[in-house]
Amino acid sequence: MSRGLKRFFIICAVVTCLGLIAATIGYAAGGVSGMEKISDRYSWIRAGAPEMTDITLAETMDSENVSFDSVSIKGDGDISFISGNAGDTRLIYDEKAEAPEFAVKDGVLTVDVRDANDGVLINLGAADSTPQLIVCIPQGATLENIDISSDYGDIELHDLTANTLSIRSNYGDIDIADITYNTADIESDCGNITLDGVDSEKLSIASDQGDVKISGRLSGSTDITADYGNTDILTSLPESSYSIDVKADFGRIKIGSHDYGDTEHISFGSGADMINIAADMGDVSIGFTDSSLE
């Protein structure tokens, strides 16, 4: 049997299985009219258009005078940080889902949407029901700690100051811009990581799949591990400030004006600031001051 014929039969089998599942659902629905009503009868099925609702932190806490100095976020959804009043922090989610945890506890904004889809085995919804969290930070405020653990969804942090930053993402892009921090620890299984205009004293990035692009003032230590994807760095500090160690198993290395081609390991410099990069598959580029990434 040819490879093309095998592929045809596999596709037919998959389509048949999907048809059987759809037929089973239709039979189980019985006399239920309308896809929207299936979810009401069977908790393990979610069907029809999501009914999104939103709530502000001020409404949750029943007070306009809301403040927090740390943030802890767990679960699924798109996350963004913007300037604004803390009480205007907003959570948008499907009201058919389990109500997420959304409150301030001991000065920590605590958001947990991990149970939003608990018990749902089949989701037939045609529209996006991904939760959205918009965190509002007063202008000039400094957060003690930002801790984000996300299964899926994009993460955006712009225009803020934090002592420590910890982000763990299974799937989704991470976009950080114009942020000052002492320590940042970022882990991503799948998705691009972009840091633009950051002021960093210690940065650690572990990326399984996706490009890593960083620009800003990178003092102290910058440690990057990238399994698959390109790594581009543009730092405002001069080359003489750094001790640099770069390993690239499959990919080109360019540092400043020097193109080292397919050289697997480059180590040089005696500066107090350090850049350490270990890349399995992908190009590595490090630029300084007014140099540009290529």
Q: How many domains does the chain have?
A: 2
CA distance 39 to 122: 10
Domain stop point among 134, 151, 168: 151
Residues 203 and 141 in one domain: no
120 located within any domain = yes
12 located within any domain = no
CA distances from 190 to 130, 152, 229, 269, 276 (A): 18, 9, 10, 32, 21
CA distance 76 to 181: 25
pTM of the model: 0.79
pLDDT tens sequence across 127-142 = 566 889 999 999 889 9
Residues 216 and 275 in one domain: yes
pLDDT tens sequence across 248-288 = 999 999 999 899 988 889 999 999 999 999 999 999 999 99
Q: What is the DSSP string of 91-122?
A: EEEETTSPPPEEEEETTEEEEEETTTTTT--E
pLDDT in the model for residue 14: 58
What domain range is 197 assigned to? 192-294
pLDDT in the model for residue 81: 96
Domain stop point among 151, 184, 219: 151
Q: Of 19, 159, 21, 34, give the one whose Cα is nearest residue 84.
A: 159
259 located within any domain = yes
Quote the mean pLDDT of the chain. 84
Residues 217 and 133 in one domain: no
Residues 145 and 200 in one domain: no
Domain stop point among 120, 151, 182: 151
pLDDT in the model for residue 98: 76
102 located within any domain = yes
Residues 139 and 200 in one domain: no
163 located within any domain = no
Residues 213 and 133 in one domain: no
pLDDT tens sequence across 69-123 = 999 999 888 999 999 999 999 999 887 777 789 999 999 999 998 755 544 445 5
Residues 53 and 146 in one domain: yes
24 located within any domain = no
Question: Across residues 153-181, what is the average pLDDT?
Answer: 95
Residues 138 and 224 in one domain: no
Residues 200 and 281 in one domain: yes
Residues 138 and 233 in one domain: no
pLDDT of 17 higher than 80? no
pLDDT of 126 higher than 50? no
Residues 68 and 143 in one domain: yes
pLDDT tens sequence across 20-73 = 565 555 555 554 445 555 555 545 455 556 678 889 999 988 877 889 999 999
Q: In DSSP terms, which residues pair with 38 in a beta bridge? A: none
Q: Which of 9-18, 156-165, 219-228 has the lowest mean pLDDT?
A: 9-18
158 located within any domain = no
Residues 147 and 201 in one domain: no
